[in-house]
Structures are given as C-alpha cells and as structure tokens.
C-alpha cells in the first residue's frame, strides 16, 4: 500500500514541478500529513526526491 502512496506523492511533485512543503503535498494528495512526512523521508533516503531547502521537497532531476 505504501508503494501506491509513494507514487501518488511522486506524481504530485512531477505535476507541480516546484518545491512543496509536506503540508501542501498532504492537501494535494488527500493523505494524512504525518504519513506524507514519513513517506517523504523514505523517498529522500532512496534518492527519488531532494530537499533543496529545509522542509521543501521536489522531484530529483
């Protein structure tokens, strides 16, 4: 189930093509903010996203 949610987050970041906060991602995806934060941490660790500045995330180019 986490894989679907990860893909939802990645798709959201691709579509917006800008840096987003976890709260913004939660609002756009309809997921819980705590869950989004947890998944963002995994995605960042796996190298799929980057955090160019504190608390902002974007897709790795």
3-state secondary structure 1-44: CHHHHHHHHHHHHHHHCCCEEHHHHHHHHCCCHHHHHHHHHHHH
Tell me how many domains the chain contains. Answer: 1
**What mean pLDDT comes out for the span 11-15?**
96
Distance (Å, whole) CA 38 – CA 18: 20
User: How many whole angstroms separate alpha carbon 57 and alpha carbon 13?
Assistant: 8
Residue 1: per-residue pLDDT: 58
Please tell me the predicted confidence (pLDDT) of residue 2: 86
pLDDT, the chain, mean = 95
Contact 19, 55 (CB under 8 A): no
CATH of the domain at 44: 1.10.10.10
Mean pLDDT score, 31-50: 96
Domain with 42, as residue range(s), is 2-59
pLDDT digits (tens, 9 = 90+) for 14-39: 999 899 999 999 999 999 999 999 99
């Amino acid at each position: 189930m986490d894989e679907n949610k990860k893909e939802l987050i990645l798709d959201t970041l691709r579509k917006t093509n800008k840096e987003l906060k976890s709260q913004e991602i939660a609002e756009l995806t309809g997921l819980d903010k705590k869950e989004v934060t947890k998944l963002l941490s995994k995605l960042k660790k796996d190298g799929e996203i980057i955090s160019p500045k504190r608390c902002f995330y974007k897709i790795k180019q």
